[in-house]
């Protein structure tokens, strides 16, 4: 029973991070119909830049939480600029190209970003400082650390902020209008290129937060960390219904739970044949099952409504 | 003659190698209602799309005394040139109120927007009743009303309407045209593209007849409606 609760807690923590990253995929897809496969690398850059800032601040004696916030204050705008820059340089010239072209470009951008990070910070695994207290407290037999609580809280806060932005601001309305019909949105006076830039920037800001949170969770950052994380978050977005914000949140949470529970029990279920090192398999099993049985995802629309 | 709000000279629109509009010139005076009639494929919609820069074109477009054929679509709306596109183009997944708010997207005068919203609701009470409803759930006629109301929210000086009667029941067509007349009475100039030539000529001051990318007739609406060629070709007589 304790294990079950423990795995559920772990799953929610993991799922919150997947959800944040998945939102970046789904927002861009909603506006442009494009899968930005370089998004995982933006997440990684967010973790790396924050780490670099914290290392610079190491001697200052500032509290670790303050260092973390300063790190985020640098990495979030940096990632927003990076995401918007990727769109400007790598995707906008291909706006009317066959769909395969931006996909290949995305892979190229991913590799470039990974190796730029290698040039600056090297190939090593960087231990992430314990920015938040990790001494766990007891919750009905399961253990949950303040860091995990903070991850859930931060993610929920950021997601609530995003929903508010999309549903209650002028920019959010323009984003939804552009997602639905860019031609008509332009007729209303919406500068579609500006909306696209902002969409990439906001998705990248969420990605930067996610990168930091996931690094805190695993106490490590690495130039390839964005790859698997990005693929899993993409899976979460597809699971929820790509293009749908609520779907990305639900999909991320579900995927985190599936992964935690799966890796927690796979050993028992298979008599020890498979261990928890098979955890990554679950995400992709989910992807395959969703693509076969419900390609539009849990909250995805089956057909566009027409009058 | 009154001052022209729109003056078009030798407009050409090409799709690939095919010419849809082959060098037409026409004008809309301030406060005037002008219609562009003609058969399917005559180039009417292409003309409107070129005016709001949804399509590249050659020739000169003068609007409000300035040349605008190098402006971008989203800039022209801010100058008061609004298009209600063919097929209405309401945002189906947004509420009626949000659709109307999109029409005022570029406006920063919140008080003025609120006043215009009240006017649109007064003109179209159906929309007020349904302001929280998703636009996709409205009937075709209501969607057309919403599309026109949305364009009004931008305080247009010249309203371009592309086939507003298309796909509507006769009673709704009457209401849409009443609405168009009411808008014109408020001083908005109107350029109407319409396949229902009879109704268009009854409503407008002047008309142009388009055939295969060229303007073949131009006159007052009354004279066009009496012209035997128009009667034979477009009024089914």
pLDDT at B176: 93
Q: Is the pLDDT of residue B237 over 60?
A: yes
Q: What mean pLDDT, rounded, does chain B reach?
A: 93
Across the interface, whether the CB atoms of A174 and B143 are under 8 A apart is answered no
> How large is the average pLDDT for residues B218-233?
92
The pLDDT-based confidence of A301 (bands split at 50, 70, 90) is low
Residues forming beta bridges with residue B9, ordered by sequence position: B60
Chain A neighbors of B82, CB-CB under 8 A:
187
State what percent of residues in chain B have pLDDT above 90.
89
Pick the most confident of A184-198, A269-283, B221-235.
A184-198
Share in percent of chain B as helix, strand, coil (round to 5): 40, 30, 30
How crowded is residue A243: how many other Cβ atoms within 10 Å of its Cβ? 22
B1 against A51, higher pLDDT: A51
Rounded Cα distance between A98 and A34, Å, is 11
CATH number at residue A122: 1.10.3470
Rounded Cα distance between B105 and A184, Å, is 12
- Say if A303 falls within a structural domain: no
Q: Is the pLDDT of residue B187 over 90?
A: yes
Measured between CB atoms, which of A180, A181, A190 is closest to B74? A190
pLDDT at A176: 96
Structural domain for A243, as ranges: 2-131+147-293
pLDDT at B180: 95
Give the global pTM: 0.91
State pLDDT tens for residues B68-86.
999 999 999 999 999 999 9
Q: Is the pLDDT of residue A157 over 90?
A: yes
Considering the segment(s) B4-234 as one domain, its CATH architecture is 3-Layer(aba) Sandwich (3.40)
Rounded Cα distance between A276 and B237, Å, is 82
- A229 Cβ contact list (under 8 Å, min separation 6): A17, A18, A21, A40, A43, A44, A210, A214
Chain B neighbors of A299, CB-CB under 8 A:
none
Q: Is the pLDDT of residue A302 over 60?
A: no
- Say if A139 falls within a structural domain: no
Across the interface, whether the CB atoms of A177 and B91 are under 8 A apart is answered yes
**How close is the nearest chain B Cα to the Cα of A170, in Å?**
8
- B228 Cβ contact list (under 8 Å, min separation 6): none
- Say if A138 falls within a structural domain: no
The pLDDT-based confidence of A50 (bands split at 50, 70, 90) is very high
pLDDT at A84: 97
Rounded Cα distance between B77 and A251, Å, is 39
Chain B neighbors of A190, CB-CB under 8 A:
74, 102, 105
Per residue, what are the HEC states of chain A? CHHHHHHHHHHHHHHHHHHHHHHHHHHHHHHHCCCCCCHHHHHHHHHHHHHHHHHHCHHHCCCHHHHHHHHHHHHHHHHHHHHHHHHHHHHHHHCCCCCHHHHHHHHHHHHHHHHHHHHHHCCCCEECCCCCCCCCEEECCEEECHHHHHHHHHHHHHHHHHHHHHHHCHHHHHHHHHHHCHHHHHHCCCCHHHHHHHHHHHHHHHHHHHHHHHHHHHCEECCCHHHHHHHHHHHHHHHHCCCCHHHHHHHHHHHHHHHHHHHHHHHHHCCCCCCHHHHHHHHHHHHHHHHHHCCCCCCCCCCCCCC
Rounded Cα distance between A256 and A28, Å, is 22
- CB-based contacts of A292-298 (< 8 A; 24+ apart in sequence): A296/A241, A297/A237, A297/A238, A297/A239, A297/A240, A297/A241, A297/A242, A297/A244, A297/A247, A297/A251, A298/A239, A298/A240, A298/A241, A298/A247, A298/A250, A298/A251, A298/A254
> How large is the average pLDDT for residues B16-40?
93
Measured between CB atoms, which of B77, B98, B139 is closest to A189? B77
| Residue A27 and residue A245 in contact, taking contact as beta carbons nearer than 8 Å | yes
- Say if A25 falls within a structural domain: yes
> How large is the average pLDDT for residues B139-152?
94
What 3-state DSSP class applies to B199?
A: helix
For A62, counting Cβ atoms within 10 Å of its Cβ (0-12 exposed, 13-18 middle, 19+ buried), the class is middle
pLDDT at A1: 56
Identify the H or E element spanning B195: none
Interface of B with A (CB under 8 A): 52, 54, 72-75, 77-78, 82-83, 85, 89, 91-94, 98, 101-103, 105-106, 136-140, 143, 150, 154
Find the residue in A nearest to B153 (Cα): A188
- Say if A300 falls within a structural domain: no
pLDDT at A270: 78
The pLDDT-based confidence of A264 (bands split at 50, 70, 90) is confident
> How large is the average pLDDT for residues B104-118?
95
> How large is the average pLDDT for residues A169-173?
96
A290 against A190, higher pLDDT: A190
Mutate to test the interface with B, among A175, A181, A189, A303 (most CBs of B within 10 A): A189
- Say if A287 falls within a structural domain: yes
| Residue A248 and residue A240 in contact, taking contact as beta carbons nearer than 8 Å | yes
Domain positions in chain B: 4-234
The pLDDT-based confidence of A276 (bands split at 50, 70, 90) is confident
pLDDT at A282: 83
Measured between CB atoms, which of B75, B102, B140 is closest to A307? B140
Across the interface, whether the CB atoms of B154 and A185 are under 8 A apart is answered no
> How large is the average pLDDT for residues A60-73?
92
State pLDDT tens for residues A85-142.
999 999 999 998 998 999 999 999 999 999 999 999 999 999 998 877 778 888 888 8
- A182 vs B: CB within 8 A: no
Q: What's the domain count of chain A?
A: 1
């Amino acid at each position: 029973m304790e294990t079950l609760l423990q795995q559920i807690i772990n799953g929610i923590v993991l799922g919150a991070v997947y959800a944040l990253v998945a939102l970046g995929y789904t927002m861009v897809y909603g506006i442009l119909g494009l899968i930005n496969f370089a998004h995982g690398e933006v997440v990684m850059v967010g973790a790396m830049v924050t780490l670099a800032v914290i290392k610079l601040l190491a001697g200052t004696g500032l509290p670790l939480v303050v260092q973390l916030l300063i790190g985020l204050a640098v990495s979030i705008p940096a990632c927003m600029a990076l995401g918007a820059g990727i769109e400007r340089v790598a995707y906008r010239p291909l706006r009317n190209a066959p769909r395969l072209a931006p996909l290949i470009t995305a892979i190229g951008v991913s590799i470039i970003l990974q190796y730029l990070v290698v040039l600056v910070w090297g190939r090593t695994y960087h231990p992430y400082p314990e920015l938040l207290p990790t001494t766990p407290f007891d919750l009905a037999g399961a253990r949950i650390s303040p860091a995990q609580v903070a991850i859930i809280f931060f993610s929920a806060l950021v997601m609530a902020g995003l929903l508010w932005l999309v549903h209650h601001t002028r920019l959010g309305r323009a984003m939804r209008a552009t997602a639905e019909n860019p031609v008509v949105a332009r007729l209303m006076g919406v500068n579609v290129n500006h909306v696209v830039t902002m969409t990439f920037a906001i998705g990248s800001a969420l990605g930067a937060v996610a990168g930091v949170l996931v690094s805190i969770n695993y106490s490590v950052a690495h130039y390839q960390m964005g790859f698997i994380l990005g693929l899993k978050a993409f899976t979460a977005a597809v699971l929820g219904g790509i293009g749908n914000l609520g779907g990305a949140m639900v999909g991320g949470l579900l995927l985190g739970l599936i992964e935690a529970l799966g890796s927690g029990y796979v050993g028992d279920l298979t008599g020890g044949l498979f261990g928890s090192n098979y955890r990554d398999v679950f995400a992709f099993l989910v992807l395959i099952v969703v693509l076969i049985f419900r390609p539009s995802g849990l909250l995805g629309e089956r057909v566009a409504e027409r009058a | 003659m009154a001052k022209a709000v729109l003056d078009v000279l030798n407009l050409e629109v090409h799709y690939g190698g095919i010419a849809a509009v082959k060098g037409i010139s026409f004008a809309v005076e301030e406060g005037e209602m002008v219609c562009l009639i003609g058969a399917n494929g005559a180039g009417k919609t292409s003309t409107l799309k070129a005016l709001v820069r949804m399509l590249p074109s050659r020739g000169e477009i003068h609007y409000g005394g300035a040349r605008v054929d190098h402006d971008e679509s989203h800039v022209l709306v801010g100058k008061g040139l609004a298009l209600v596109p063919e097929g209405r183009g309401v945002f189906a997944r947004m509420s009626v109120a949000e659709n109307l708010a999109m029409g005022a997207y570029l406006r920063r005068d919140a008080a003025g927007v609120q006043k215009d919203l009240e006017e649109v609701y007064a003109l179209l009470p159906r929309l007020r009743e349904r302001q929280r409803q998703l636009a996709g759930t409205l009937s075709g006629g209501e969607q057309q009303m919403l599309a026109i109301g949305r364009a009004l929210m931008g305080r247009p000086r010249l309203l371009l309407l592309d086939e507003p009667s298309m796909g509507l029941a006769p009673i709704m067509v009457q209401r849409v045209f009443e609405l168009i007349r009411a808008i014109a009475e408020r001083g908005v100039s109107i350029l109407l593209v319409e396949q229902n030539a009879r109704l268009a000529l009854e409503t407008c001051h002047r008309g142009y007849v388009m055939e295969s990318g060229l303007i073949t007739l131009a006159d007052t609406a009354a004279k066009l409606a009496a012209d035997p060629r128009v009667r034979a070709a477009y009024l089914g007589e």
